[in-house]
Amino acid sequence: MPFRLSWLALGALAALATAPAGRIRRVPAEYRTIQEAIDSAQSGDTVLVAPGRYVENIRFGGKGIVVASEYLLTQDPSLIPRTIIDGSRPRHPDSASVVMMVEQEDTTAKLSGFTLTGGTGTVWTDARQKALYREGGGVLCELGSPVIEHNIIEGNEAVRVGPGILSAGGGGIRCGYAEPIIRNNVVRGNRGEYGAGIVLYHSAATVRNNVVAGNSGGAGFGGSGLWVVGALSYRLRNLIEQNTIVGNVASMPDSTPTQLGGKGGGVIAFAPILFRNNIVWGNRQGAGGQLEYSQRRPPELRANLVQDGTGAGASLTRDPKFADTVHYHLSPDSPAIDAGDAASPPDPAAAGRVRTPALGARRADLGAYGGAGSAALLP
């Protein structure tokens, strides 16, 4: 009798076929903590973490390893909220990022399939400003190109300042002088004085197929969803495509505002960027628009839905008609279906038909569930 594999099973087989060739180090079966497994690992190894709550703050230590939940093997998104790294009890309050990737990790360093929560950021000296900042509540990365994928990053913050600390930002993720790949994540409910969701500072990142929702702060330098400032080099730029950036809030400061304070509830874009196939909707700010960018050197904007947008890069300003306010799937009558840039990859297909949660048939849908990298982000 013939049988038919589901797309979930096919995904699991593909994951196994492409799994790293090194040793698999299992937590907690072989190692009590995730950090113990990382410390024992060699480049090429995989630290595979069973469902549970792990109260620790971890550091990759420059190793080219995969640190993942069992989502890596099954592609089952229900494992992501069940495999939690809780960074709320750091050994030192000023080294309180949940995950640190700050020793020149490359693309062989991957973080996949976790819920990261409870981080309050790390105080350190910014390489350019030569001043102290508190940054990276959920993830802090610097001078590298790690892969951060298929995670829920929620309930983290970078807000506390003190004597000698200039500001705080990157409540969910902060990457500086880096080329990270940030894809298929949900970044929600984080706080930061700037970039409450994601900060990219003098970087050339790929940010694709993420939901960035309900982050708040922005009083310091704005940008409660994404905060993208500065160039990594003259030839490199950030690629920010297929993201849903919704319901983020940038509040005006109580004291004298900075140039960007309280602006760009959805996005601050003062860097070389291709900004394509995104939805920017329902964000709030104290001044300006949801997408705030340099008029002198604007990003390249293509085929985006921006609620208060103007110009060629905001192709749509109509209600995207979300089916829900948790996943932010599109309703069948959404104007964002089949509205992607013709030059971008179309939505994925399975057996000749578009694979849910994508809906587009000819072009990519706008938002987190469109394009070739579309995946189920939440159970």
Encode pLDDT of 162-194 as tens digits.
888 989 999 999 999 999 999 999 999 999 999
* Residue 39: strand, helix, or coil: helix
d(CA 209, CA 94): 31
Residue 320 has pLDDT above 60, yes or no: yes
Q: What is the pLDDT of residue 207?
A: 98
Q: What is the pLDDT of residue 296?
A: 85
Residue 6 has pLDDT above 60, yes or no: no
Reading phi first (left if > 0) and then psi (alpha if -120 to 50, else beta), residue 68 is in beta
21 — pLDDT class (breaks 50, 70, 90): low
Residue 332 has pLDDT above 90, yes or no: yes
**DSSP bridge partners of 59:** 100
Encode pLDDT of 266-299 as tens digits.
999 999 999 999 999 999 999 889 999 988 888 9
Nearest to 319 by CA among 263, 246, 261: 246
**pTM here?**
0.93
Residue 336 has pLDDT above 80, yes or no: yes
On average, the pLDDT of the chain sits at 91
Written as six digits, the tokens of 217 are 């702060």
Task: Give the domain 7-354 fold.
Answer: Pectate Lyase C-like (2.160.20)
Q: Strand runs (DSSP E) across 179-265, as ranges?
A: 181-183, 186-188, 191-194, 198-203, 206-208, 211-213, 216-222, 226-231, 238-241, 244-246, 249-250
